[in-house]
Amino acid sequence: KVREMAAREVRWAGTGLEDAELVVVAYGTAARIASTAVDRARAAGLKVGLFRPITLFPFPTRELRALTTRAKGFLVVELSMGQMVEDVQLAVLGAAPVAFYGRTGGSVPVPSEIVTAIERLARAVSATDDLDWGPDPTTLIELPGEAAISVDEAEADPDPLSLIDEGAWWAREHEVVTR
């Protein structure tokens, strides 16, 4: 029954995916904001597209997986702590890194913040373009523990992807991966 429902009920929309090397995955309000960010990033010359799941169950796994033939990286944008990240990881199956940008507590990101996250992901994947991702490229995602989350906006890091700088995350993670 689940397979029948998935075939019949799965829904999604996309823009700019025809030539996208980076794919932003977002739904709901975050997708509206991400759409503007994708438009701005494309205007700046980045080949980025937006994949917008309309149904989260069943998740459009097959449709997202089809993008891994040309996408070099995926950025999940949510107004949460990453509940959709695992769905994207399972769809991508390690073919490309999956990064996360999220906001919680009613704080809504502006498009420029998402553009910055897209640019950082673009730098990270281009810095490691010639390298094999290894068995687990999903280590781009590092969610802070509750103790590490700052409630003071002046102290808060507005970019959870700040750990990804010029591909350094990959080099660190790749050293500990056993082949």
The 10s digit of each residue's pLDDT in 36-83 is 999 999 999 999 999 999 999 889 999 999 999 999 999 999 999 899
Full DSSP string of 11-63: -EEEES-SS-SEEEEE-HHHHHHHHHHHHHHHHTT--EEEEEES-SSS--HHH
Cβ contact 94:72 at 8 Å: no
DSSP annotation of 117: H
pTM of the entire predicted model = 0.73
pLDDT tens per residue across span 115-156? 999 999 999 888 766 444 443 444 444 433 433 333 444 444
pLDDT attached to residue 2: 75
Within 8 A by CB and 6+ apart from 169, the residues are 124, 139, 140, 163
